[in-house]
Chain A
Amino acid sequence: MYYIAKRLAFYVLAAFVAITVNFFLPRLTPGDPASTIVATYSTSLNAESLAALKAAYGLTDEPLLQQYLSYLGNVLRGDFGRSLSNFPAPVMAVIGAGFGWSILLGLTSVLLSFVLGSVLGAIAAWRRGGWFDRLTPPVLLFLGSFPYFFLALLLFYVFCFKLGWFPMGNAYSSVNPPALNLAGVGDILMHLIAPAFTIVLVSLGPWTLNMRNAMIGVLSEDYLTLAEAKGLQPRQVLLSHAVRTALLPNITALGAAVGAVFSGQLLTEIVFTYPGLGYSLMRAVSAVDYPLMQALFLIITLSVLAANFFVDTLYVLLDPRVRTGGEA
């Protein structure tokens, strides 16, 4: 439990750093971007929005510390400011539903690629030197070399546009989200498949190769020799000894991967016009909506931190050495 408390403290600290960076970035970047932004908007915004914008970037007479403290208070209350492109809607309202869709897509694709990659890696290591083992790494490296958005474009073009197997964009067919009955869930799944497939394809490589290398390492351990010496069936050796321990490094990597996959996911969402956070991000970038951008950064960071904490907790359950050792 000491270990978990330590990790929790670390994530709280990381969140605090992210929040602080977010506050100081527009204020301390060289070239005074805040004034530039305000100047750009001074003609297009009404007086009310302009005042809000100035307040958001510290172009007021308030001392910096005061601004910082009230900003911290706002963040704690879940108030991330107001969107410029949809003024005066709070950014949280703009992001709103997108958050849920992103989580759905993210969880689906990370879990799928983790499970699939671990299985493929374990098979490749077990049948080492066979055709599967020799073919898998180059193919996966090739798929992993595509930027997420490019593979997304290709798949979109082929499967959604040319072949019409999957719907072109959005997360559901009707105007409003469907009810959670059989047809509704099926509709959501149909919209989920193409973007999730893209993410799985690109991110599968590292999972597979890491699992394969971890397995190859574990297979040469003394306790595997002993397991074989005991005369266990190959299936037992593979499942209860090799895979179980080889999974551990992959689970550690899961935390780090959540952040990276999320980054790629945002771009994939844009290509498939999937209504998640990536879509909001695209809108923020093209409308130069800074508060929205910053809020997205914070929300995504906090979700990734939460995911990391979850993975750490999971790890503690799986590796007894961490439970008692207490080292990171």
Chain B
Amino acid sequence: MLDVPALDIVDLSVGYAGEDSIIPAVDRVSFSIAPGEFMGLAGESGCGKSTIAQSILRLLRAPGIITGGEIRIAGNDMLSEDDNAVRALRWRTASIVLQNSLTSLNPVKRIEWQLQEALNRGTSSVRRTPAELLQMVDIDPKRLRAYPHELSGGQRQRVVIAMALALEPKLIILDEPTTALDVIVQQEIFVTVKALQRQMGFAVLLITHDLPLLFKVADRIAVMKDGKIVETAPVAEFRQHQEHPYSRALLTASPKVDFTTPPVARPKSVAHPVLETAHLTKAYGTNPLTGRSALVAVNDVSFRLAPGEIVALVGASGSGKSTFGRIVTGLTRPSSGDVLVDGRTPVPVSRRRPHQPRAAQMVFQDVYGSLNPLHTIGHHLRRAVISAPGGDKTDVEGRVAALLTEVGLTPTASYLDRRPHELSGGQRQRVGLARALAASPKLLVADEPVSMLDVSIRRDILNLIARLRDEQGVAVLYITHDVVSAGYIADRIAVMHRGEIVEEGLAKAVLANPQHAYTRQLIAAVPGGLGLETSSANPVPAS
């Protein structure tokens, strides 16, 4: 019995039905997971890793088709049995936790009901209760009567994990379960999962794009590229040496903080900061009578940014960092306090006119949403050039070509007539940068510019931003949740927590020697640590 693997996949091929033929997405993939083993399946978006995860329980939606191979969960064949037999095996032999915790629970049923529904599938006489399940994942059983929308994202994902353990299956599939969650929440969830795994002995298949995370939690790692597994190795081995060039590329592509060079303070011309805020506050839902606000997104922030400086504003989602960025560019108006960009208060968008001088421009997070799908790249850049100060007098086509060259999109003519959907994510973000540069701003506000991009191109975009600073002297406010990329690119780091800047200093100094408890927590949550001696030798604490 011990010899039967928890999951055994042999020559699995999966495709998607297209107009003319079935387009392969997974090509003869084989791997197996031993009982109690924690296996990580890594790769970039579109490599087929999620397709495998969903095929195991035959949950891949149309137009997905399994075109060959074998899938066995604890010895049970998932492919040749009839539908009812497969249905009987689901959840008892293996369960799955999906990526989006918000949508994976039924919104109109109570947590208790949904847990009980999973428990009812059990056959053994000894049954757990929904309350016990919640306790397992450290949620107060009082929350049983809650509806999903009344829980936080992390709690919802814990509920799903509890549900996944209800029938004590041999295998749990985690399909990017923490991608939508904050680093700290992610770390807490994996601490729980590892503890439960030790206690109950189930095997885990974790699908992720995050190699450092796998280093921290997995026993063995498989790297996928273009529908094939290019390398499988125990984590300890893989960290030392990567067999396949792609694995190596993937690993080195993620930005790292270089602690070998000492932190260098750029000469700060304090007299003329490019950005200066004083007691900046933005509150939402303020009651005019009591003066109390439903939410204070930015709370009394005083902050300076020198010309040519890159400062990273680091914080979890909801910390107020994006609101701060939007205030700086004038997209949002502050409730109180002052902002000066290049000595002037930003003009609110509602009162903005073409050709007005603008010192700050925004680079957006959503590379799919920030370009109008109906218009060409040429249109986007031409409009930006024409609306820029003095834009009515410049040679528009020449300026557009120059901008495209600056962001590395050459030959420029081949991009002008393309529409956003014809470009890759990285190329779109380059267009976004070119558009922001059209008005020759003094300050770029880059709001999570790489978080939606694949790991392998994140560093390229960050390098491009750094190069633009070096060549054009533009200052950058880099807004991110990712401490590592902040350390990679920024001169200084400001840490934001619940609307306030809790710590500020030279980037490497802050990372090497964090002062505030929240900063320490944020750094400790980074999977694999920052590459410093102290944090890398510190695996997941046992609980």
Q: Which of A219-278 contact B (CB under 8 A)?
A: 220-223, 225-233, 236, 240-241, 244-245, 248
Which one, A227, A240, A248, A324, contacts B150 given CB within 8 A?
A324
Contact call A229/B121, Cβ cutoff below 8 A? no
B100 interface residue, CB < 8 Å from A? yes
Cα of A229 to Cα of B175 in the assembled complex, Å: 13
Q: Which residues of A contact B147 (CB under 8 A)?
A: 320-321, 324
Contact call A230/B104, Cβ cutoff below 8 A? no
Q: How far is the CB of B118 from chain A (nearest CB, A)?
A: 5
Q: Which of these binds chain A: B23-31, B83-91, B458-466?
A: B83-91
Cα of A225 to Cα of B87 in the assembled complex, Å: 13
Bits for B61-103, please: 1 = Cβ < 8 Å to A, else 0.
Answer: 1000000000000000000000000011111100110101001
Contact call B89/A231, Cβ cutoff below 8 A? yes
Residue of B nearest to A223 (CB): B106
Cα of A206 to Cα of B95 in the assembled complex, Å: 39
The tally of residues in B whose CB lies under 8 Å from a CB in A reads 30
Q: Which residues of B contact A233 (CB under 8 A)?
A: 87
Q: Which residues of A contact B163 (CB under 8 A)?
A: 226, 230
Contact call B98/A321, Cβ cutoff below 8 A? no
Q: Which residues of A contact B59 (CB under 8 A)?
A: 225, 228-229
Cα of A228 to Cα of B160 in the assembled complex, Å: 14
Cα of A325 to Cα of B149 in the assembled complex, Å: 9
Contact call A319/B108, Cβ cutoff below 8 A? yes
Bits for B39-64, please: 1 = Cβ < 8 Å to A, else 0.
Answer: 00000000000000010010101000
Q: Which residues of A contact B106 (CB under 8 A)?
A: 223, 227, 241, 244-245
Q: Which residues of A contact B103 (CB under 8 A)?
A: 221-223
B10 interface residue, CB < 8 Å from A? no
A318 interface residue, CB < 8 Å from B? yes
Total A-B residue contacts, Cβ distance less than 8 Å:
75
**A222-B100, A324-B149 in contact; A232/B121 too (CB < 8 A)?**
yes
Which of A226, A232, A319 counts the most chain B CB atoms within 10 A? A226
B4 interface residue, CB < 8 Å from A? no
Q: How far is the CB of B368 from chain A (nearest CB, A)?
A: 20
Cα of A232 to Cα of B163 in the assembled complex, Å: 14
Contact call A321/B107, Cβ cutoff below 8 A? yes
B392 interface residue, CB < 8 Å from A? no
Which of A223, A227, A241, A324 counts the most chain B CB atoms within 10 A? A223
Q: Which residues of A contact B100 (CB under 8 A)?
A: 222
Q: Which residues of B contact A241 (CB under 8 A)?
A: 106
Contact call B108/A230, Cβ cutoff below 8 A? no
Residue of B nearest to A237 (CB): B87
A-B contacts, 11 of them at CB < 8 A, read A222-B100, A223-B104, A226-B98, A241-B106, A244-B109, A245-B107, A245-B108, A320-B147, A321-B107, A321-B149, A325-B149
Question: Could you tell me which B residues sit within 8 Å of A by CB distance?
Answer: 54, 57, 59, 61, 87-92, 95-96, 98, 100, 103-110, 117-118, 121, 147, 149-150, 160, 163
The 5 A-B pairs of least Cβ separation, nearest first, read A231-B90, A222-B103, A222-B104, A320-B147, A223-B106
Question: Could you tell me which A residues sit within 8 Å of B by CB distance?
Answer: 220-223, 225-233, 236, 240-241, 244-245, 248, 318-321, 324-325
Kindly list 16 other residue pairs between chains A and B, CB separation below 8 angstroms, not including A223-B103, A226-B96, A230-B118.
A221-B103, A222-B103, A225-B61, A225-B104, A226-B160, A228-B59, A229-B57, A229-B91, A230-B117, A231-B90, A232-B87, A232-B121, A245-B107, A320-B110, A320-B147, A321-B107
